[in-house]
Chain A
């Protein structure tokens, strides 16, 4: 009970900072929304896009699904990295460590906070896709998207935590995060239809976390009956997430790296 309260307080605390910072809102919401508006408009006349799902889907479905995955990764991966590194370098994590705070409540607070803003992103993206581009959206698809959202946040939080040891400044985090996300987006069927890419690149991307997430989100929005839930993202992102957390247990440090 007390743990849940601490976790909740931590999430609210992060949320306040998030909403007060122009940078995080731009990165996490405005950028994916902007890309959705532009790319869907540009590719609207291209007809169906050959998605990795194996059957062609409309441009708006392709981008609404893919760019939500992209926004989730950009926001969570970069956000966790920057939040943890700046808190660590400011001596804030050191204070946390020296206080009776259970370390898990800090971590769960980060995850809860990112789940909340990523769900917000899903809602905004779905609203734009349906209201502006007339995408057909079933309620069950939103539920499935939320389910993938939690999976994605779990996975990207873990990977971000695992590499914070290598990230010495918040500035470094805020350039590494978008760089990795944007690079992966090109190879993962987010910005470009996967049939434009060499086969081997797709094969590699299948084992990286963004591609399965993007593809499963696109599929959830594309299919006209059933949930369309896929097991592949749970395996790939699950493994990345677990490996990330195990690595983070070894590499994570509460003390500033630069003294």
Chain B
């Protein structure tokens, strides 16, 4: 398999702060690679070094076979960017904005086709200044893909989207995936990373603390839990002993137990419930989510 991005021991410092600390990873052709992390984890600094906007203090970056700092026109022709924050000239229409940008590329996508892909066909003649935040973000995405890029960078593309807009955006990415476009995506929405990314890396304080497919990360870092409600006066230690499980947390409504072997724990728990006559309200078995992985991975780093 061909790699489109090869990053080795990448480091970037701002004064005393090490924003990106010895980061290495690679992205394969046709893959959607996610960089996850809280604000300030180093995602944007990393992506900006991949895009050529920032110079690494140490380490190497190769994107589509070139050092991004020396990326010439032919190289840029193969790359699309959706920047984290951007604004446009409010006086131009969506179509005018896109048409100008399309003219820079050697094999641009048809402007109307691009507008349709991002769901802005009926806003084509609207001035950019009159669009809502979510619609502007779609213009961003349109600008990123209008050059028919081989590799697309998306820096927090759905921040500020409502749930419906986010789902529609995911569809756009799915459509692009079928065209074989490789993508690097940063996000702090776990659901988004799980839904879109073939492989992902979790960043905390400038370092990659976990990397893999979302299912691999989940089984490595997460654990299935059992949740239910019992009256306040039930002793947790007694209950855990009876069920043969580890106590995790008791908050206002739910108690969470971790079972090493789920079936046995559940069986003993139900037996305990029957024999003591204690109701287990809202009993459920909860599969770990990427969110748990994320919290676990970033917490262990502190």
* A96 proximity list for chain B (CB < 8 A): 104
Selecting from B75-83, B250-258, B294-302, the interface stretch reads: B75-83
Whether B96 is near chain A, meaning CB under 8 Å from some CB there, is yes
Chain B residue at minimal CB-CB distance from A86: B89
Whether B246 is near chain A, meaning CB under 8 Å from some CB there, is no
Interchain CB contact under 8 A, A5 and B103: yes
* B105 proximity list for chain A (CB < 8 A): 99-100
Chain B residue at minimal CB-CB distance from A20: B91
Say which residue of B53, B74, B91 sits within 8 Å of A94 (CB atoms).
Answer: B53
* B96 proximity list for chain A (CB < 8 A): 13, 16
Interchain CB contact under 8 A, B91 and A99: no
Size bracket of the A interface: 20 to 34
Q: A9 CA to B105 CA in the complex, in Å?
A: 13
Interchain CB contact under 8 A, A100 and B89: no
Interchain CB contact under 8 A, A95 and B53: no
Whether A205 is near chain B, meaning CB under 8 Å from some CB there, is no
* A13 proximity list for chain B (CB < 8 A): 92, 96, 100
Interchain CB contact under 8 A, A94 and B83: yes
* B83 proximity list for chain A (CB < 8 A): 91, 94-95
Whether B86 is near chain A, meaning CB under 8 Å from some CB there, is yes
Interface hits, B39-59 → A, CB 8 Å: 51-53
* A90 proximity list for chain B (CB < 8 A): 86-89
Q: Is the interface of A mostly helix, strand, loop or mixed?
A: helix
* B103 proximity list for chain A (CB < 8 A): 5-6, 9
Whether B101 is near chain A, meaning CB under 8 Å from some CB there, is yes
Q: A90 CA to B87 CA in the complex, in Å?
A: 5
* A5 proximity list for chain B (CB < 8 A): 103
Whether A102 is near chain B, meaning CB under 8 Å from some CB there, is yes
Q: A125 CA to B196 CA in the complex, in Å?
A: 60
- Known A-B contacts A13-B96, A16-B92; the reply to A101 vs B51 at CB < 8 A is no
Q: A17 CA to B127 CA in the complex, in Å?
A: 11
Q: A45 CA to B86 CA in the complex, in Å?
A: 55
* A20 proximity list for chain B (CB < 8 A): 91
Interchain CB contact under 8 A, B92 and A95: no
* A6 proximity list for chain B (CB < 8 A): 103-104
Interchain CB contact under 8 A, B147 and A99: yes
Chain A residue at minimal CB-CB distance from B77: A100
* A99 proximity list for chain B (CB < 8 A): 76, 101, 104-105, 147
Interchain CB contact under 8 A, B85 and A17: no
Whether A21 is near chain B, meaning CB under 8 Å from some CB there, is yes
- Known A-B contacts A6-B104, A13-B100; the reply to A98 vs B87 at CB < 8 A is no
Chain A residue at minimal CB-CB distance from B51: A98
Q: A100 CA to B81 CA in the complex, in Å?
A: 12
Nearest Cβ distance between residue A19 and chain B, in whole angstroms?
A: 9
* B86 proximity list for chain A (CB < 8 A): 90-92, 94-95
* B76 proximity list for chain A (CB < 8 A): 98-100
Whether B237 is near chain A, meaning CB under 8 Å from some CB there, is no
- Known A-B contacts A16-B96, A99-B76, A99-B105; the reply to A21 vs B87 at CB < 8 A is no
Chain B residue at minimal CB-CB distance from A105: B104
Q: A5 CA to B96 CA in the complex, in Å?
A: 15
* B91 proximity list for chain A (CB < 8 A): 16-17, 20-21
Chain A residue at minimal CB-CB distance from B93: A16
- Known A-B contacts A99-B101, A100-B74, A102-B73; the reply to A91 vs B87 at CB < 8 A is yes
Interchain CB contact under 8 A, B87 and A17: no
Q: A95 CA to B73 CA in the complex, in Å?
A: 13
| A 47-88 binary contact with B (CB < 8 Å = 1; else 0) | 000000000000000000000000000000000000000110
Give 12 A-B contacts (CB < 8 Å), ordered by A residue.
A10-B100, A13-B92, A13-B100, A17-B91, A17-B92, A90-B86, A90-B87, A94-B83, A96-B104, A98-B76, A100-B73, A100-B106
Interface residues of A (CB under 8 A from B): 5-6, 9-10, 13, 16-17, 20-21, 86-87, 90-92, 94-96, 98-102, 255
Q: Which 8 A-B pairs have the closest CB atoms?
A: A90-B87, A91-B86, A101-B104, A100-B77, A100-B76, A17-B91, A100-B73, A20-B91
